[in-house]
Structure 1
């Protein structure tokens, strides 16, 4: 059951890069992401029907605010910005570095040990990113350097959030975490979004993509995501990004006609292999003793 939910979550979040690519030019990153998290908060609001859920929300308001910023407001906005300049498939591949940053932050900030395998995975994943960046910059895409930097900063935010959630929100109902993070992300983003609200008419089809981002790619997806953190582990939940590039590339090519280059595929494979090593997905296949260093 956990594996099925992991694949479903990957398919949904892979589609989110497609929707961002379509809707961000119409709304702008800040307004779009405010709508995304606001719609998700409305969808998840019924979780507060119980007194126990309301009590947990109040008692964990600050950790939920931190998760709302680090796992939604900031990374969503950064990826929305990135989608203005680079294609959905590339963003989906860059998103796959999340477990690498999760492992690094766990060691550097949360005093968790890193094995030699994980360190090798970190370095290999970064080499894959360099390959992807080199290919994209070589194409001369305007705005690409900042877009790639924004996407990578978003994955660093995700890496922090999965570790922070495991430490500070253990035992909290997944629905409370899902609602609270989207609610606080909305509160944080709304003042910044109002000055950038689009003044032109938005096509009905674009509103459908925005609704899909909020209802499916955020509200429903975060129910799955936080449930996986609670039932399995933060590392397992973060490993969903290992699968997202497959769907991100497929949706982008199928619906937007995005070109998938050999260098992009090679860089993606290197990133995913590094991710697998960094998140211990290949544990036992690496020669030598797995001692923390």
Structure 2
């Protein structure tokens, strides 16, 4: 064997070893991202409730997206992706209304009445709405167990809405119904935004899409937020909550989410849906003294089963 062949063989061996090392390390990396993302998005309900209590729903949502936009803009220019945003700004702005502006405002409205844990459990239905929108838009009809999962998931939501579990002390059942409907409306917005992103922003850098969406949401909420701006200046605690919400739970979370899709694929990234309610319940119990009932836990289990089936994450009867 010649020296060149030996060198080539050694290089190939080294490359295979490096690839194996990278593959072995990759699961640990994406699992860390998954846990961090679940912790951040779980905390978003805590910070939304704190901020909305003093700002109101629309101003709180507006501050959140504006802080996120200010956080993401410098990163966009540092990574040289401003051109991608200029090219696709119209689609990014419109999707930002669906993916951030409207759902954030709806969740802030809901959290004026219901607890963070209840809102987070309803939020777990997002993949089911995504499946329904994809069915209507792309004709991707779910079949078999996925249809069963959709029915189970929405039955779990109906069970939640049928009792006054997870209400604030001064709220009534009528207000709870509107709050749950607001959460479902937010989930529907997320589902539409996912299909719209797939149709109109495929191949666009994730950072450009995320930044454009936050700018679009900021513009959408600016006038309503000014109109409903509280007469009394909110406390430093509320400002801090919305700042952390914008930077960590929105800007940083977007980066983690798209990186998770790149590292682990969409199916694994989707499993963050199961972690968000866990973290949200923990934060609400520890920091807000919220009470989680056995009925809420039962409904959460029903919804999670429905999501797992409707998204294909669990396929009964299929051999590994």
TM-score, normalised to structure 2's length?
A: 0.84
Per mean C-alpha deviation after superposition, the further-off stretch among 249-258 and 162-171 is 162-171
Question: Which residue is 2:23 aligned to?
Answer: none
Which one of the candidate residues 83, 87, 102 is aligned to 2:111?
83
Question: Which residue is 2:158 aligned to?
Answer: 130
- Pair 1:99-2:127 in alignment: yes
| Unaligned ranges ≥5, structure 1 | none
- Pair 1:277-2:309 in alignment: yes
TM-score, normalised to structure 1's length?
A: 0.91
Quote the offset at 1:201 in angstroms: 2.4
Quote the offset at 1:7 in angstroms: 2.0
Per mean C-alpha deviation after superposition, the further-off stretch among 64-73 and 109-118 is 109-118
Give the secondary-structure state (helix, strand or coil) at the position aligned to 1:85.
coil
Which one of the candidate residues 20, 26, 30 is aligned to 2:54?
26
CA contact (8 A) 2:165 2:296 kept: no
Q: Distance in 1 between matches of 2:199 and 2:265?
A: 11
Question: Which residue is 2:288 aligned to?
Answer: 256
Which one of the candidate residues 135, 147, 151 is aligned to 2:179?
147
| Unaligned ranges ≥5, structure 2 | 1-28
CA contact (8 A) 1:57 1:180 kept: yes
CA-to-partner distance for each residue in 1:3-55, whole Å, 9 max, x for gaps? 32122111111111111111102001111111100000000011332695122
- Pair 1:55-2:83 in alignment: yes
CA contact (8 A) 1:61 1:180 kept: yes
Q: Distance in 2 between matches of 1:51 and 1:264?
A: 44
Q: Distance in 1 between matches of 2:229 and 2:38?
A: 30
Q: Distance in 2 between matches of 1:124 and 1:147?
A: 21
Which one of the candidate residues 296, 299, 320 is aligned to 1:267?
299
Structure 1 residues 142 and 108 mapped into 2: Cα distance closer, same or farther (>3 Å)? closer
Map residues 75-224 of structure 1 onto 2, 5 A cutoff.
75-136=103-164, 140-141=172-173, 143-224=175-256
CA-to-partner distance for each residue in 1:85-136, whole Å, 9 max, x for gaps? 0000000000000011111111121222313111111000011111111122
CA contact (8 A) 1:21 1:83 kept: yes
Q: Distance in 2 between matches of 1:185 and 1:232?
A: 28
Per mean C-alpha deviation after superposition, the further-off stretch among 44-53 and 192-201 is 44-53
Q: Distance in 2 between matches of 1:193 and 1:70?
A: 17
CA contact (8 A) 1:99 1:279 kept: yes
Give the secondary-structure state (helix, strand or coil) at the position aligned to 1:143.
helix
Structure 1 residues 82 and 57 mapped into 2: Cα distance closer, same or farther (>3 Å)? same
Give the secondary-structure state (helix, strand or coil) at the position aligned to 2:279.
helix
- Point out the structure with max Rg over C-alpha: 2
CA contact (8 A) 2:47 2:245 kept: yes
